[in-house]
Homo-oligomer: A and B are copies of this chain.
Amino acid sequence: MKNIVIGKKSEIDKRAIIGQKTGRKIKSRKLSIGRKAKIRSNSVIYEGSKIGNNLETGHNVLIREENVIGNNLCIWTNSIIDYRCKIGNNVKIQNNCYVAQFTTIEDDAFLGPGVVIANDRYPVSPSTPKYLKGPVIKKGAKIGANVTLLPGVTIGEYSLIGGGAVVVSDIPPGSVAFGNPAAVKKTIDQLINPYSKKKVYAKILPKLKKILKKK
């Protein structure tokens, strides 16, 4: 179909739907997906998004329109990216997640299973950026299983949000936060692997230091 460009060496299950029409008015209906995409059964990708190389989806994944997505996105079964999100490179989204409109997810971020992202502080608002504020998940942040992110919160670089947390306010870079409401309990620097007795995120700490210096 015109308006759909899919890179070479892609494997698309015959039951996937590529280029689904939206009822919304959008600027461009062009859908481009990079090389080596692997899209599994009953996943639906709307028109009007730009997706990099090596996209890999589970089954029944939904990616709506007007998304800009980098290379190497893995998004597993039943997860949804709603419209007008910005997603960087090397992002991994586990099963059963919901990424709300206007969410930003930077490079190397990770969403565990069942993460739910909200964008509307006082529902039901009009679907425009004036009213809806998606969270910003900064570079390398990791969001645990079944976490809820409230509208407009920022999760700092390389922070780890513990499973089941409800994040209602910004979390600084390099933090470990959990609970309802989520509170910062320590820094990722303090996480020690119980077996090796080494720092869990030793490789990340120099990158985090650079970021903290700049701020």
Contact = CB atoms under 8 A, between A and B. Distances in A.
Interface of A: 17, 20, 41-42, 44, 58-60, 62, 77-78, 80, 82, 92, 94-96, 98, 100, 110, 112-114, 116-118, 120, 122-124, 142, 144-146, 148, 150, 160, 162-166, 168, 179-181, 191, 193, 200-201
A116 B145 contact: yes
Nearest to A150: B163
A145 B164 contact: no
Given A44-B41, A110-B124, A117 B145 contact: yes
27 contacts: A17-B41, A20-B41, A42-B59, A62-B77, A62-B78, A78-B78, A80-B95, A80-B96, A92-B124, A94-B98, A95-B98, A96-B98, A98-B114, A110-B123, A112-B120, A114-B148, A116-B146, A118-B145, A118-B163, A122-B160, A123-B142, A124-B142, A145-B148, A146-B146, A146-B148, A164-B180, A179-B180
Give the residue among A17, A100, A123, A142 with the most B Cβ atoms within 10 A.
Answer: A123
Nearest to A124: B110
Given A42-B42, A62-B59, A96-B116, A193 B122 contact: yes
* This protein's copies in its complex: 3
Contact of A116 (B59, B113, B180): B113
A194 to B, nearest CB: 9
A14 to B, nearest CB: 11
A17 B60 CA distance: 13
